[in-house]
Structures are given as structure tokens and as C-alpha cells.
Amino acid sequence: MGRKHFGTDGIRGTVGEAPITPDFVLKLGWAAGRVLAEKVSAGEKKILIGKDTRISGYMFESALEAGISAAGVDVRLLGPMPTPAIAYLTRTFRARAGIVISASHNPYTDNGIKFFGADGRKLADDVEHDIETLLDAPMEMVSTDQLGKVRRITDARGRYIEFCKSTIPAPLSLSGMRIVIDCANGASYHIAPDVFEELGAEVITLAAEPDGFNINRDCGSTYPEALCEKVVEVRADLGIAFDGDADRVLMVDDQGRLVDGDELLYILAMDRVERGIADGVVGTLMTNFGLEMALAAHKVPFMRAKVGDRYVMEGLDKQGWTLGGESSGHIVCLDRTSTGDGIVAALQVLAALYRKQCSLRDALRDMQKVPQKMINVRGPNRHGFDSHDSVVSAVRDVEERLQGRGRVLLRPSGTEPLVRVMVEGEDEALVASLCESLADTVRSVIA
């Protein structure tokens, strides 16, 4: 089943360039309204719309609203809200779907549309396919008396704050902790600081003044340097960085060292081991080999999925596990919520530190990430390159040199004419040498 517009995380692109244009989004709203009204029986006949803080969100919110109303479906507007908040509120309001206008960690010049079903999870493939199919049909609005009505939900922010706080044990207090929070000038700017303050922490906030243009600009989980410096400057216990729509989180320890998604997954997994509720962990092809080894030392099952939260979720469903995520900080705790949630994931880490009575730095003493080297090799002939005899032989040679204490990954880009060549292992110099050699072989094949 091919996809014309939908990627692994909705539809995304540059504002003003197809398909991220007002006319397309208008019709997308209509097509989604029609399909969800007819095909999805769960939930009331209404769709929620939320957005992040980029200026084009106003334009696309209006376009979606008009299209959905023309399909005869009611609309509930949430305003600027984290992506996982829309997933949660879609469930609690018993809506047919939730739509997020966001391009996540991308700059303000991009935007996108993501969908959640009535269960707060990404739409099923067949529903997305039906929406895409209807986009090619003429747009026919319902009769005037059947048009959808639009209303703004005024208490969405408070509802979501209370939900986030409810995901950790009631006795847990952050009193005495000093935390620096970087909101990426994005959707968490008016939510994340309050969550942690209401739990008792002293909060110092960065990048919480969105102006429509500064989302993700030199801030947030994509650019955590300012957060690292601030944590050291104010002698904070730790720092927390979200991306523009707050579905990702990275942290910083008291010495200003960045803690990525792999390390946060390790903390959460070890907390579950200590509480006797560990099942397994789903990572991706990019997950550091050090996490895999650390989990194996504690007999925690681990599997790799393709890169993308959709595939992490598929892996969790297949295995019946509840914990997974990516190095980028997109962490899924299915025993707490239905999708990746930066604020909820950060709270779970803090709860683990509280139970262990240790710092973020101390919680990672037994996990060592292995050196990793990645080279992007450009060339037009990236399809099928990995079956070439010279590449197969080169990969085999590298794996033999690593002696089971490392990993090789060759990953063609889905959007650019390049192949990502990655080697991991315990010896940094050897890893760099092997990666350069393997990249040369790949270059000779795809050039």
C-alpha cells in the first residue's frame, strides 16, 4: 500500500511548497473528516485540533477547521499544545481523532500535519490510505444545516498538566530540586514549567517566549548547548530539554553533560528491573550498542526497530512490551500514555531517581555508550547497494574485526541521495578507521 503524502509521522514539508499549502490542508481536513466520520465508529463525531507555536499554525488551523466543518464534523480547538497532549485529550474527549499542526524539531519555515485516532495512537495505515484516496476526489461539502460546529476548549492546558502529574506516584515531591527547563520556544512553553513547579521543584526556564519564528532556534533538544551551560552556571541538579512539540526529551546532568534517549531508556529499564516489572525494551537501528550490552547484563530483552516512532510502537505491540524509544529522546512509556511524551518521560526518569535516591549522573554509572562513527556517503545509486559483492565483503570484514563487541549499520536515506555508514565498537580509533574504510567501499559502489 503506497503512500503519496503520509510519511512515518504524518505529512511534513516547507510552508508554501506542496503539499504544505492552505488549499491542500483545507482539502486534507475535508478528506479526513469524511473518512473518520464514515469509517471510524469510536468516539463522538468531532475532531480535536492542536498546534505548536510556529506562525503558519494560524493559517493551517483555519484551513483544517474549514475543511472538517465542510465534511459535517464538529471541531474542538486546543491552541498551542504538545503533540502528546493532543493524543491524551483525543482519548478523554472521546473524539474521532486528534490533529496536530507541527513540524516537531524542524525550523519555523516548515510545518506538518499529524493524526491520532480515537485511542490516542497514530492512525491505522488503512485509514491514512483512505484519506489519501479521497484527496483525489472532488470536494463536496455537506448541506448547510449539516456543517460541523467549532468550539474552543478553554481548559485543555490545565487538563493536560494534571494528567502529566498523575503519571508519577502521589508521594513523590521535587522539593529541594533545582531544574532548568528548555522549552524550545515551542508547545511546552506554558505547560512544562508549571508541571515541575507544581511538583515542588525550583524551575529556571529557558526558551519559553515563542514569537512564531524562534521555535527550535538554537534551543531545545536539537540545540542543547545553552541548557548545558545554564545547568552548570546556576548549579542545578539537572536540566530538561524538549523539542518544538514536546514529544522528545533530552536531559543534562549536574556537570553539564548531555544525557540522550538511550541513556534515559537505560534508567527507566533499570528502575523497572528493581521494581520487578521489567519486560523488554524496543530501540532502533540507531540505538547505541552500549545500551544493548547494558540491558543484556541485566537479562532485559532488547530488539531493534526501524528508525521512527511508528516502528518503535509496532515493535512494542508485537512483543507486548511497554518501554521503547530513540536516541533522539522520543521515549514511549505505554504503561503511562499512548504515545511518545517528553514531559511524561522526564517525570518517569525523575521518579526513578527518587526511588533510587541518586542523581542523574550516578544513575548512569553502570552504562557506558560505545564510540560511534557515522559518515554520510553521497551518491545517486543507493538502492540495492548493500547486495554488491564488495560491500558484503567489506561489512563481513568489519564485523570480524569488531569480534562481536560492536555493530555495523548501512542505512540509505529516504529523503536524500546518500547512505549513512555507521560503525560502533569499544575502541574509538578502530571504529573511526573501520568506518572510513567501509565508507570508501560504499562510495565506490553508489557514486
CB of 3 within 8 A of CB of 94?
Answer: no
Q: Kindly give the pairing relationship between strand 406-412 and strand 95-101.
A: unpaired
Within 253-341, residue ranges assigned H as helices are: 261-274, 289-297, 309-319
DSSP 3-state of 360: coil
- Grid cell in block for residue 335: 504503561
The residue ranges of DSSP E strands in 125-257, in sequence order, are 150-152, 178-182, 202-206, 238-242, 249-252
Q: d(Cα 190, Cα 283) in Å, to the nearest integer?
A: 31
Q: Does 380 sit behind a cis peptide bond, omega within 30 degrees of 0 on the bond before it?
A: no
Residue 256 sits at the vertex; the CA angle it makes with 251 and 262, to the nearest 5 degrees, is 35
Give Cα separations from 152 to 30, 37, 188 (angstroms): 19, 20, 19
Q: d(Cα 287, Cα 76) in Å, to the nearest integer?
A: 38
Residues with catalytic roles:
104
Question: How would you list the strands of the sheet with 110-117, edge to edge?
Answer: 11-14, 110-117, 95-101, 44-51, 74-80, 150-152
Provide the phi-psi class of 256: left if phi over 0, else alpha when psi is between -120 and 50, else beta: left
Task: Give the CA count within 13 Å in the CB-facing half-sphere of 95.
Answer: 28
Question: How would you list the strands of the sheet with 178-182, edge to edge?
Answer: 202-206, 178-182, 238-242, 249-252, 258-259
Q: d(Cα 243, Cα 432) in Å, to the nearest integer?
A: 30
The candidate with the shortest Cα–Cα distance to 289, out of 345, 327, 342, is 327
